[in-house]
């Protein structure tokens, strides 16, 4: 996706970046005072850095690492924001029929993508890991913010939703400060708009076609978010077969029908989570989610039965 922050139509703009969650996050804030815009942008990205420390399964002191270590032994109380995120993840698991699931740490480890050493997992290994995966084995107690894993070996991995959630929290801080125009992104794969950017050329986002180089769509966002999922950058090949890094939690194997999908939703976390789900589920499910109001719209490039390329869109101009 493409994004530009150079907009002469508004008096002041600040563009601030920080590295977190394995990518570059940026906040572009428009306002009447450049120093003030830069200050609130830095504070918003500080929220992202804090959430990286909380949500990363790579960090030994994170809340997720603590949950993964102890929640199968006894219930663990978590911070209310994290509990709310896990509750929403459970709901996304429900509405996608299990195509989105964050309790898949054991399964992802089989394939090695998250350690940078991707490999083709064996069928027995996948079966064993799936017995230790799934939000069905995670108990959430809303009265006490307690989380309990109902069987040993369950591990959470928020990689499919963490960036979007961090952007939502950063945007919430900007709104509390009275910011009415901002764009934020995490690695350009998830982009969130606070209000409407002053110039249509700035808020107009291009969705790239990874096959051929043309654009799939041009999308304008305002008080919503756009996220893209694809497996064309992270994959492993064996015996002439390419296996992408997006694993179907229901089967344990990578999904290979969809090439790329971009989702527009009211929150960046929803766009992140449901773009991942639609990468697995395909275009018909995208139309269902859009019709039922779970997403604002989507565009998808997939392969038909004969290998032909198919573009499917709903809810977008």
Does 18 map to a domain?
no
Residue 121 domain-assigned (yes or no)? yes
CATH assignment of the domain containing 126: 1.10.3980.10
Is 109 part of any domain?
yes
Q: What is the pLDDT of residues 188-215, one digit of tens each?
A: 999 999 999 887 877 889 998 888 777 8
Spatial contact of 311 and 294, defined as CB atoms under 8 Å apart: no
Q: Domain range spanning residue 97?
A: 63-149
Instruction: Note whether residue 310 is domain-resident.
Output: no
Residue 304 lies in a domain: no
CA distances from 282 to 23, 110, 204, 258 (A): 27, 24, 25, 6
Is 138 inside a domain boundary? yes
* Domains held by the chain: number: 1
Tokens 């924001």 correspond to what residue?
A: 81
pLDDT tens, 31-62? 999 999 999 999 999 999 999 999 999 999 99
Give how far Cα 213 sits from Cα of 78, 208, 216, 282, Å: 44, 7, 9, 22
Give pLDDT tens digits for 223-245: 999 999 997 666 676 556 677 78
> Up-side HSE of residue 281: CA atoms within 13 Å toward CB?
21
- pLDDT tens-place string over residues 136-174: 999 999 999 999 999 999 999 999 999 999 999 999 999
What whole-number distance in Å separates Cα of residue 48 and Cα of residue 57? 15
Q: Tell the residue number behind the tokens 């043309």, with chain if given.
A: 214
Nearest to 193 by CA among 242, 301, 185, 7: 185
């Amino acid at each position: 996706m493409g994004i530009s922050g150079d907009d002469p139509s508004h008096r002041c703009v600040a563009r601030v970046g920080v590295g977190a969650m394995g990518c570059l996050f940026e906040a572009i804030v428009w306002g009447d005072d450049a120093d003030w815009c830069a200050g609130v942008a830095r504070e918003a990205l500080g929220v992202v850095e804090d959430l990286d420390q909380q949500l990363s399964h790579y960090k030994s002191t994170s809340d997720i690492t603590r949950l993964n270590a102890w929640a199968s032994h006894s219930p663990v109380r978590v911070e209310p924001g994290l509990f709310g995120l896990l509750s929403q993840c459970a709901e996304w698991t429900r509405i996608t029929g299990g195509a989105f699931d964050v309790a898949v740490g054991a399964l992802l480890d089989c394939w090695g993508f998250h350690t940078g050493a991707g490999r083709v997992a064996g069928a027995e290994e996948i079966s064993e890991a799936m017995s230790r995966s799934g939000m069905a084995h995670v108990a959430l107690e809303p009265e006490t913010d307690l989380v309990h894993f109902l069987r040993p070996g369950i591990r959470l991995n928020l990689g499919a939703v963490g960036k979007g959630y961090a952007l939502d929290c950063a945007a919430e801080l900007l709104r509390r400060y009275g910011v009415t125009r901002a764009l934020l992104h995490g690695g350009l794969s998830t982009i969130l708009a606070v209000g409407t950017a002053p110039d249509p050329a700035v808020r107009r986002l291009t969705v790239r076609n990874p096959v051929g180089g043309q654009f799939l769509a041009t999308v304008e966002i305002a008080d919503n978010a756009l996220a893209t999922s694809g497996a064309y950058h992270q994959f492993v090949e064996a015996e002439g077969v390419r296996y992408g890094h997006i694993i179907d939690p229901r089967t344990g194997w990578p999904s290979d029908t969809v090439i790329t999908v971009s989702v527009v939703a009211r929150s960046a976390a929803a766009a992140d989570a449901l773009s991942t789900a639609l990468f697995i589920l395909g275009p018909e499910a995208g139309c269902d989610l859009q019709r039922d109001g779970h997403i604002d719209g989507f565009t998808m490039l997939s392969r038909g039965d004969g290998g032909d390329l198919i573009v499917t869109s709903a809810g977008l101009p």
